[in-house]
Structure 1
């Protein structure tokens, strides 16, 4: 008798299964990382849950991008462990991991002048041969519409401005439709409108059940859009929690070595962080 096909196993790959809101999607437990024999992260404990946006903030060199790369399994842990989908990352094959997390690096470089739509479609590669392969066209179209790049779908990626490339790179990540999004400074090259657009997309993905971990330099964006923030300082997490509860002038002034004022927005109550300046 022929056994029914397991819908969560295709060509040896275990496909993601839906997780309940609030369930851990990515975890760092006692994580330490060394680069070129230099300690960069030390004893990091962090969990990203389904349905939330976690912002990684802190000064240059604090370890934000390194932590994101470790969560993505692009950097090995020196000590401790990283788990994705409830398993240590070492237990997932590369194709299985690609179904579970999508990664936006700080810069997107392509050696060939691929059209924009083809670049976005690259995000669908992990789903080839699965039951969700027939979602490719819809996923690509939806990602391009969300990031407002549909209008130049046929243009070469290499001919785009820095901000346009950043939005196309984000569209590729969105098209992948993985339950964990790891975004490294996705607003760095963007104008005001598109910075807000990107963070609204993060909130929408969290509302749909994904876990989003995003590196941000703009504390105002982190305060407005993140459910929780982890403030990194010299390779450690100084504090983690809702921005309204942890963004204080004392903490941020110490971490950034810059006196700041923190006060609530008069209409929304969201913390506003303003550097102290001589009058």
Structure 2
């Protein structure tokens, strides 16, 4: 049995801690035979455990503490600590691992509630489970979510070689907003979401670049954001935004422009990865 979970991009600018999309990079978990103890085989960093202390197994055991150990093969092309939901993908896979081996028969809502409780907010885990575009809230320990088809487009990801930990990126955010500023920021987010629902990506991209919730506080941590945004505007992309807590920057654009913009972005940093991705419409899949 295989479990496949897509990468995700959270916030989409002003949709802070609530909006997210699923992307065509994947974590794949292959469940092999039962074993005396948990073994997680992977070719990733040596800092990622290969026993039951792995986040995948720890998540599964939170749901079913007496789950029968298995040999697991883990592979992923989702970069770690780059704002593309690498930890969320493992959490979602761990929940599904417990769901399948423990015969829990969890609904999508139940999976999302568990994942949100573990992660703290739903913007990454919701699209990882549902696919496409999801708007979700987590208030008073209750999760509400709406999935909608994201308009067809290419997504160019500029992925720096340096990590930016979420804890460091969150540390620069303000503790409070003025009432006037909060109203302005939420109106930008509302128009962005409405534009996505109407299939109006030029307007959605414009509003993504007007975010007041987090990007203006984090821009000094990601100096390439302004450069990428300038290139995007010059070459006719819809818009660029900081993916999650960063440092990855995503650019939304029509497919006929993606190769040209990707080549321009490669000139900014020879050590960065520049990849052309698609929106994943399926979310969590089990084969």
**TM-score with structure 2 length normalisation?**
0.29
Higher relative contact order (CA 8 A, sep 6+): 2
**TM-score with structure 1 length normalisation?**
0.30
